[in-house]
A and B are shown apart, each in its own frame.
Chain A
Amino acid sequence: KAGVTQTPRYLIKTRGQQVTLSCSPISGHRSVSWYQQTPGQGLQFLFEYFSETQRNKGNFPGRFSGRQFSNSRSEMNVSTLELGDSALYLCASSLVRNVNTEAFFGQGTRLTVV
């Protein structure tokens, strides 16, 4: 079956702009999480969605937001981009929200803010 698909793979944006990233989870998976990966901070949790509701949120400013649709596809949006938002954004999906459940990751979206 198809894996987690993230689009686009690469993005270059200018400071002050906004951006929307997309994630299509594995079919049947209802939990979608987003992570920001940078060389300095490593992998940091952004938020998690389950059944179209945000269930958990990491320590990021309100410029970072997301949503999940009825087909479990998810988008995240970053408004008023800053240089520090340059990162690899990873999406992960899992069947359920249990700690023993494997999270499957996409290949990520590389965002560069100039």
Chain B
Amino acid sequence: AQTVTQSQPEMSVQEAETVTLSCTYDTSESDYYLFWYKQPPSRQMILVIRQEAYKQQNATENRFSVNFQKAAKSFSLKISDSQLGDAAMYFCALPVGGGSNYKLTFGKGTLLTVNP
């Protein structure tokens, strides 16, 4: 079974500083994707960044980047130059299936607070 674990229920960071959110996962697939979703107080989940498992290069989207360690099954999210608008719940997600059992498996989330 595919599982996703986020071990940090809450994190805080000072504005303009860098923070790293952790995620570990388990999957029996050899080729897969991983996502980080952001859920602000408005509740609407937004995709922040995605990583293809067979790509060795870590994905980057502006101030957001990942540290993907395939052998360790680790997928952490780094937010640089943190802004007040980054405050949200962040979920690591593993999409599974694609045939009859397509779904997203989420971690429990990390609540990020950004202090001015």
| A interface residues (Cβ-Cβ under 8 A, vs B) | 3, 31, 33, 35, 42-43, 45, 48, 50, 55-56, 58, 88, 90, 92, 97-108
Contacts and interface: CB of A to CB of B under 8 A. Distances in A.
Given A43-B91, A99-B95, A88 B100 contact: no
B43 A108 contact: yes
A97 B104 CA distance: 11
B56 interface: no
A97 B102 contact: yes
Interface of B: 32-33, 35, 37, 42-47, 50, 52, 91, 95-109
B45 A90 contact: yes
A43 B52 CA distance: 22
Contacts of B104: 33, 35, 43, 45, 92, 103
A102 B103 CA distance: 11
Contacts of B101: 55-56
Nearest to A45: B103
B102 A48 contact: yes
Contact of A97 (B47, B97, B107): B97
